[in-house]
Each structure stands twice: as structure tokens, then as C-alpha cells.
Structure 1
Amino acid sequence: MITMNHDLGFDRSSTDLILIVDDVPDNLAVLHDALDESGYTVLVATDGPSALSRAAQAQPDLILLDAVMPGMDGFEVARRLKAEPATATMPIVFMTGLTDTEHVLAAFAAGGTDYVNKPIRVREVLARIATHLHSARAQRQARNALDAFGHATLVVQVPDGRLLWQTALARQLLETHFASDGRLAPPALIAWLQRLTMASMGSTGSVWPSSSPPPSLTLSAGCRRLRFTVHEATGEDQWLLVLREDDDSATLDALMQAFKLTPREAEVLAWVTRGKTNRDIGDILGSSPATVKKHLEHVYEKLGVETRNAAAAVALASVRQLGGG
């Protein structure tokens, strides 16, 4: 008899968890017993909706998915799993009696990692599972290692901007800065990558000269900035990016301390040091250029200067001296 494990209160510390999805009880029984005897923790689902629910809640290490089921078929289940950040990286091995090329292609197009033919050969299934679990474990360790060293990383598909892969730290930064749901890149980043893709078309070798730094884009939200730097183009219009967060709070504190500036005056001066115009600063801070100009007049007076360049030079020297940037 198959244990359905409705409360999902099992121990994940020492075993991999496999979710089997099939609407035929005999198939479930054979696979469940074989996997259980091989030391895996096993969950089962008999239809698409319950498969989605169990995958989201239990976070299995691999999914064995029947392609043909009544109602929501396996292809649709896979598409929905891949569309959700929480389940997108789970390996999916399709089980199908449909060996026509179009069905095999449909399985991979829906996000399948591999497929096995029915009737199921248990030893073959176990071998495939072991291989894909090893690969998934290596990828998970790589993502965790990147996060551990502060390297937030993601892969973006162009032109639609889908996030194909991301570390937990990258997902957190995108959510903090852009209220991202983990599915799409920010619009400004998508537009930039589209331009980069167009510029790289027809080029040979590297996308950018080896003597030049990799292209990067900085998006700002108040005094916080998120820099996206291209690590490499991974092929098929996919870009691997590294994210880095910069926080200007130390710089603003240093400017306010040195020159008795208000918080808004310090923000305006910080953007002046980066060469932004009054209109640019107004757009960033949500103010009119006239308001920015008025703040600058106060800044000039407090710094004892008369020009933007002089204000920028004095500010940068002061920040370096005080250790705020």
C-alpha cells in the first residue's frame, strides 16, 4: 500500500525526496516500492493540481511525471512548475508511452530534464534518477557557494526577460529593489540586454573586447543602487549576470556631517558628484529641476563654492577624508 504522506512531516536530512505523479495506481505502486527500497523518501500525486501543490509545499529533489493524464496533463504541469521560482530548478523526468518525436520534443519544451518510456524499466529509472540528482545537487551547491561569497547571480532570457536561473541572494535583491516575483527581470534591465544582444549580433569571439571591462548597468532607487554586470553570454540569447548592491548611506552621512546639509541636500550633492544634471536628479528623487536647483543653491552656500564642478570636487575630497566612500 502506498503511503500518501498528507502531512508532509518527513525528515529531509539524510535522503533525497522524489515526487511521483501518475494517475495509474499500479504504476505508482511499482515505482514507490522500488524507490523506497533504494533509500529515497517518496511522495505521490495522482493528478496535475495535486502535483503542483505537493511540489510547492514539499520541494522535492526530483519529479517523475506522467505525460498523459486526464484533465491537466504532464506537459502543463511541467510548464507551471518551471514558471514558479520556488519549483523552477527541480529536475523533471517524464514518463511516457508516447515515443513520437513531437511528444519527446514537447516534453523538453515544457521543461523536462529527461524522459523514460513506458512500460517502466525500474533499473533504468533508478539510474536516470541518480544521474539527475547528482547534477541537481552540484548546481544547488554552486548557487549556495555563490551566495555564500556574496555573488548574487542570475540568467536572463532575451527578448522576453524571463529569469531562467537565480541564486537566493539575487532573488532577494530583485524583490527588495523592484518588488520582483522572481519570474521577469526589471524592464530597464530587459531593454538594456535587448540592446546588448543587438549590438553583439554578427560579432565574433567575445561579446566585448578583452581589453575592456564587461558591460554593466546601474539602476537606482533613492540612495541605493543595484549594479548588473555581464559575466558572459551563455548562448541562445541568454545572459549570465552578477548583481552588486551599493548603499550610499555612509556617503550621505559623511556629507551631512561635514557641511551641515539636510538629507535631501546631501542626496542632491551625491548625484552631482556622479555627473547627473538637475533634470536627472529630479527624475531620480521625484522632484522638479527647479527644486533641485534651489537645493543646489543652498549646497553651494554651505560649501563656499559657486559651480557644480567645484561642489563635486569638495564633496569627493571630504568623503574620502571622513571614510564615507
Structure 2
Amino acid sequence: MLPLSESAAAASPISHVVLVVDDAPETLRMLCDALALEGYTVLVARDATEALERFEMGVPDAVLLDALMPGEDGFSLCRRLKAEPSWAHVPVIFMTGLAETEQILQGFACGGVDYVVKPLRIPEVLARLATHLRNAHVSRLAREAVDVAGLGVLLLDSQGRVAWRSPQATRWLQQIPALAEGEAAVRHWLLQLLEQGEALVTLSDGSQLQARHLGPGGPGERMVLLRHLPLAAAEAVARDPSQRRLSGAALTPRETEVLSWLAKGKTNRDIGDILGMSPRTVNKHLEHIFEKLGVETRTAAAAIASSLLLED
């Protein structure tokens, strides 16, 4: 790890950690100096093995990755990072002298978010890095909002494969005995879910997991919302059919986020700050939520959310 300069540390008390993976000493030196001046904490790896060791010690906020290195190349390393659920959220920016369309497409296909061509233009690299760090921060807030609400999210590609899953969703999928055979079993179950729109599955502890298809999540992508039903909550829903309102409300992912923070007692301004929207936009989402839940007040909506979005 390279130390920050005193001025950079003062300007950025909370520093993002960037892992630079490159076998060229000059590139490493140039990038490390530039990143340190911008206030980043820098980790260095000279090949794929060292990069994986850095991840095992602590997950960085972003990776600048050389595509061509001795031994395992950057494309293969990126695929390995994206295959690990706890690492998959980290944005990977490729750096390489390969400028052919085929190589650029390969970088994106294996999970990279951006591609810069050598010789590097440092201002461009810094601008792209800052943008992807901001996007990753917003995405993390969204994931935390969903997980705080006791929900999980899966994002499926056009083939029904899991392209992204929230940490909570990952934990629940590992508790489904019927899916213990691996990714193929998970994919088969998800394809059936997409056809039916909604499904319940029993977890290893006897509780249930409700999966609901929410519709498109992006070009060619589909989103699935997961909600855990502890035994007590499942019995409560069975006793009181009115408690099914949230299950049948078909809230959008953004409405679910807004409702989760409302249930935690946040004001419209608080929710707007957390989710990056204006209080007026939050109010519009709440109007739609009230209509879908069949309630008229914040208190009633929060009560429904609190009663159903329970964790063990």
C-alpha cells in the first residue's frame, strides 16, 4: 500500500481504495502517484495471483486491471472476481494496448465496466474512475436499502442466468436444499419462476422464501425480488389474508426502497438524500405506494411494511 500525501489525506479523510493490477513498473509508478495525489489509497498487484491475495485481505472499491499479464490474463481474472458474490460489485476498468473491437468486447463480456487504451491519459483514467466509484456508491446504497428491508434482489440476464445478486439474496439461495446441486439448478428454478411470476420455496430451517418477478431491470435483464418469511410471519399471513397486500402490491424496486426507509422512520428529505432524489420525487413514489397498498397515510404503509418485512 502506498501512503497518501498529507495534503491528499487532509482533502479526503475517507479514502477510496483502488487496486492497480499491472506488470509494468512504469505504469504502476505513474498510476500510483496520480491516484495518491487525488486522495486514493492504492494497492498494487503485479499478476492475477497477487490480485486475488489482495482481495482476500480486503475488498477494494475499484480495480484498474491490465488485460495482458504474465500467466493468467486480466480477462480471466475479471471473470473470477465476478464469479465471487462478495467481490462481484467491485467495478473493474481495463487498461491495455489492445484497441481492437474484439478485445474491447471481451473486456465488457467478462464483467468490466470500462476500457482505457494505453498509453494512458491520466486525466481520462481519473475521470472514468471517479464516475464508476460514484455509480458503485449509489448501487451499494440501493443494495443496502433492499437488504435492510429484509429483502433480496436477483438480476437475471436474457438467458435466465444470475447477473447480479444482493448479499442477502446470496445467503438465502445457499439455504435452499433443492438448489444445492449448483448454478444449473438455480437457473432451472429461476426460469420456472419467470414463467409463473411468483413462487415459494422452503429453506433448510423450515422457513419460506417468496420470489416475485418484478419485470425488466435493464436492457435484456429481469429483476426478481426475494422476501424471507420466518415461520411466525408465514403463520401470521395465513391467519390474516389482509396482510397479503404487500405481496400483491407489485411495487417497483424504487418504490420498495422508498417504503423500506419509510418503515425505518425516515422523512421524505432523509429518503431523498439516501436515494439521490428530490423530496418531491419521494412524495410521488409514496403516492403510488399508498395506492397500491390501499392505504391513505404514511403510518398505515409503514405498519404494513414493518409487519411483513421481518427478519429472524
Range into which the TM-score falls when normalised by the shorter chain: 0.5 to 0.7
CA distance in 2, matches of 1:250, 1:110: 40
Larger CA Rg, structure 1 vs 2 = 1
Letter matched to residue 117 of structure 2: N
The aligned amino acid for 1:70 is: P
- Aligned-partner residue type, residue 133 of structure 1: L
8 Å contact kept, 1:224–1:248: yes
Equivalent of residue 215 in structure 1, options 189, 197, 201? 197
2:249 alignment counterpart: none
TM-aligned CA distance change 1:146 to 1:107, over 3 Å: same
User: Matches of 1:251 and 1:73 in 2, distance apart?
Assistant: 49
In structure 2, relative to structure 1, the CA distance for the partners of 1:156 and 1:243 (3 Å cut) is same
Residue in 2 that maps onto 1:129: 129
The Cα offsets for residues 95-144 of structure 1, whole Å up to 9 and x where unpaired, read as 01111111111111111100111111111111111110000100011100
| Paired residue total | 227
2: CA distance, partners of 1:13 / 1:89: 23
The structure-2 alpha-carbon separation of the partners of 1:94 and 1:166, relative to structure 1 and needing over 3 Å to count, comes to same
In the alignment, what sits opposite 2:223?
240
**Identity of matched residues, %:** 41
Aligned to 1:211: none
Q: Give yes or no for contact 1:158–1:194 (8 Å, CA) kept in 2.
A: no
**Residue aligning to 1:173:** 172
Whether the aligned pair in 1 keeps the contact of 2:193 and 2:211 (CA below 8 Å) is no
State the shift of 1:179 in Å: 9.2
Give the counterpart letter for 1:190 in structure 2.
R
What displacement does 1:86 show?
1.6
Output the aligned Cα RMSD.
3.0
Give the TM-score normalised by structure 2. Answer: 0.65
Contact 1:34 1:122 survives alignment (8 Å): yes
Change (3 A) 1:162 1:50: farther
Counterpart position of 1:279: none
**How far apart in 2 are the matches of 1:45 and 1:37?**
19
Per-residue deviation, residues 62-107 of structure 1 (Å, max 9, x unmatched): 1000011111111111111111112111101100111111111111
The CA deviation at 1:13 is: 7.4
RCO comparison, higher one (Cα < 8 Å, 6+): 2
Q: Report matched runs for 1:155-166 at 5 Å.
A: 155-157=155-157, 159=159, 162-166=161-165
What residue is the counterpart of 1:105 in the other structure?
A: 105
Task: Note the C-alpha offset of 1:223.
Answer: 3.7
Do the aligned partners of 2:23 and 2:46 also contact (CA within 8 Å) in 1? yes
Note the 1:65-80 alignment, pairs <5 A. Answer: 65-80=65-80
